[in-house]
Amino acid sequence: MIGRYTLPDMGRVWSEARKYELWCQVETLVMEAHAEAGVVPEDALEAVRKAPAPTPEAVAEIEAVTQHDVIAFLSAWADNTEPREAAAYVHFGMTSSDLLDTALALQLVEASALLLEKADRLVAVLRDHALAHRATLRVGRTHGIHGEPDVWGHRVADLAYGVARSRDRIRRAREAVGVMAISGAVGTYSNIDPAVEQYVAAKLNLRAADVSTQVVLRDGISEWVSALAIMSTVLEAIALEVRHGQRTEVRELSEAFGKGQKGSSAMPHKKNPIVSERIAGMARIVRAQVVPVMEGIPLWHERDISHSSTERISLPDASISLDYLLNLTIRLIEGLVVDKDRMLANLESTGGLIYTSTVLLELVEMGLARDTEAYPLSQRAAMKTWETGRPFRETLREEAAAAGLTIDEARLDQVCRPERFVERLDGMFEKLADLR
């Protein structure tokens, strides 16, 4: 992922330097287990413990010759070990995937922690925004067309719960990727005691694979990337709501627009929803990683490395992108401008058409047959309002008179008011207040 979209903490998780630190940590723990069992000398363990992790530059120089990253790492680390002979016991009984998969599990757990912290913050921001707008009237839309009265807080509450559920998926997926293996070539423990695997797993707070071959089966990692993709798509839903709300014809919502900010190189009047559009674009990057990672589940027999090159790109890109997206969405909601007056004006702009469903039910209660009388009557009045712009109550009165019916105006006054449509949402908002 390019630096433009990489936040420092998540970038550090996926840096080459951090990877080699984790590789050193895993290899040292394996040596500790061997030393406790008397397999390797204690003085060799001490020498390796003191050896600093090799630099990415040192490893890259050796890998240019060996064409094998783990061997290059081991050689570069051996160069930092005094005496160098102690390094002979590093990687004792292991195979490359033991190191790679165990260290990768640590990276995935670290990345998950950063994502979950931001997700918690976003849930809180959305919850508080929804509660602040529990009485902010706006029109509810279906198919982009005015439906019935609603409140802005209702829409935001739905998105808040969507983010909370997505966060919980990532939390569960963190357990799915916290899996390691130290079982040697083909995973049969032929040159390493299973006790070593259990020792390292306990020290790293990871879970040993239920069945170890030579690689950890990629279903857990696929679950993790899928959880990230779902979260990114929920964030896009938030962004899409803002993008629609900021359209000139709607003007109910707008992103924060800072002093000195410019909207267009050609049109000075422009204030564009660029943050929301960036969220929509970056969400595609996260979703795009699901299939490539999932295709790492079927490998040839006990091992091939067709998954390796994919994961070097897809796992950092997915988590770095989502980390950036979460940060961006928090910023979006914290700075969101809600135009309550414009929301109310839009709600009233169709001359009362938003009350047709209520009128339909009232006509039924007056004794009209729904299909043959009440619906046709209210629809004829509604279509006349669409065509002429005259208020719906006026056209309804005319159509009723033409049909020989008298409308109870006082009764309609009671039911055709926007507040009545949202009174039953109080319980939902009370529950929302407890969302964490």
Helix (H) or strand (E) holding 180: strand 179-180
Q: Rounded to whole angstroms, how far apart are CA atoms 40 and 57?
A: 30
Give pLDDT < 50 ranges for the chain. none
Output the DSSP codes for 327-347: HHHHHHHHT-EE-HHHHHHHH
360-363-365 Cα angle (round to 5): 110
Q: Rounded to whole angstroms, how far apart are CA atoms 158 and 149?
A: 16
pLDDT value, residue 410: 87
Fold of the 96-346 domain: Fumarase C; Chain A, domain 2 (1.20.200)
Report the largest interatomic distance among the alpha carbons of the chain, rounded to a whole angstrom.
105
Fold of the 3-89 domain: Fumarase C; Chain B, domain 1 (1.10.275)
Supply 295's token pair: 């295709």
pLDDT value, residue 235: 98
Residue type, 399: E
pLDDT value, residue 50: 97
Q: Rounded to whole angstroms, how far apart are CA atoms 107 and 242?
A: 34
pLDDT value, residue 367: 86
pLDDT value, residue 212: 81
pLDDT value, residue 318: 98
- 8 A C-beta contact, residue 210 and residue 226: no
Q: Which positions are catalytic?
A: 143, 264
Interaxial angle between packed helices 42-50 and 16-36, expressed in degrees from 0 to 180 and rounded to the nearest 10: 160
pLDDT value, residue 403: 87
- Work out whether strand 253-254 and strand 337-338 pair parallel, antiparallel, or are unpaired: antiparallel
Helix (H) or strand (E) holding 150: strand 145-151
Q: Rounded to whole angstroms, how far apart are CA atoms 363 and 415?
A: 12
- 8 A C-beta contact, residue 381 and residue 375: no
**Overall residue count recorded for the chain in this entry:** 436
Whole-structure pTM value: 0.94
pLDDT value, residue 406: 79
